[in-house]
Amino acid sequence: MEPQIGFCTTPDGARIAYATLGQGPVMVVPPAYSFCIEGLKINPETRSMFDSLARYHTVVVYDQRGAGLSDRNRTIFTLESELQDLETVIDHLKLDKMILFGRVFFGTVVIAYAAKHPERVTHLILYGSSAYYGKYVTEEFKASLLSLLRQTDNWVGGRAINSLAGPQADSIYLDRLIKFMSDSVTPDIFAQIMEMAYKWDVTDLCPRIKTPTLVMHRKGDLFVEFKAGLELASLIPNAKFVPLEGATNFSFLGDTDSWLHCISEFLNDPVTGGKATKAAKPTVQRLSNDVFISFAFPDKDAAAKIYACLKSNGISPFWCEDLTAGQDYPQLLGEAVRNSKSFLLVVSDASDNSATVRKETTIAHNNKKPIIPVRIEDILPKNLEYLIANSLFFDAFPQPLEQHLPRLTSDVKKIIDSKADKKEKTKK
CA-wise closest residue to 16 among 2, 28, 6: 6
Q: Is the pLDDT of residue 52 over 80?
A: yes
Q: For 262-312, what is each residue's pLDDT tens digit?
A: 898 899 887 654 433 333 344 433 456 899 999 887 788 899 899 999 999
DSSP letter for 105, please: T
CA-wise closest residue to 224 among 242, 204, 198, 205: 198
Instruction: Say if CB 123 and CB 267 are below 8 A apart.
Output: yes
Residue 88 vs residues 7, 15, 93, 379, 415: alpha-carbon distances, Å: 10, 10, 9, 47, 58
Tell me what pLDDT residue 210 has: 92
Return d(Cα 305, Cα 400) in angstroms, integer: 11
Please check whether the two domains, 4-267 and 289-427, share a CATH topology. Answer: yes
Q: What's the confidence (pLDDT) of residue 115?
A: 97
Look over the chain and give the mean of its residue pLDDT values, rounded to a whole number: 83
DSSP string, 300-341: HHHHHHHHHHHHHTT--EE-GGG--S-S-HHHHHHHHHHTEE
The CATH number for 289-427, chosen from 3.30.230.10, 3.40.50.1820, 3.40.50.10140, 3.40.630.30, is 3.40.50.10140
pLDDT digits (tens, 9 = 90+) for 92-107: 999 999 999 999 889 9
Give the type of residue at 245.
E
pTM of the predicted model, to two decimals?
Answer: 0.62
> Rounded to whole angstroms, how far apart are CA atoms 25 and 223?
31
CB count within 10 Å of CB 23 equals 13
Residue 65's closest CA among 8, 124, 16, 12?
Answer: 16
Fold of 4-267: Rossmann fold (3.40.50)
Query: What is the reported pLDDT for 428?
Result: 52
What are the sequence ranges of the domains in the chain?
A: 4-267, 289-427
With H, G, I as helix, E, B as strand and everything else as coil, classify residue 12. Answer: coil
**With 0-12 CB in 10 A as exposed, 13-18 as middle and 19+ as buried, what is 422?**
exposed
Q: What is the pLDDT of residues 350-406, one digit of tens each?
A: 899 877 788 889 999 999 999 999 999 999 999 898 899 888 999 999 999 999 999
Nearest alpha-carbon partner for 131 in 64, 215, 252, 220: 215
Of the candidates 200, 203, 191, 188, the one whose C-alpha atom is nearest the C-alpha of residue 78 is 200
Q: Please report, in angstroms and rounded to a whole number, the separation of the first and last CA atoms in the chain.
A: 73
Higher-scoring residue by pLDDT: 222, 104: 104
The pLDDT tens digits of the residues spanning 362-372 come to: 999 999 999 99
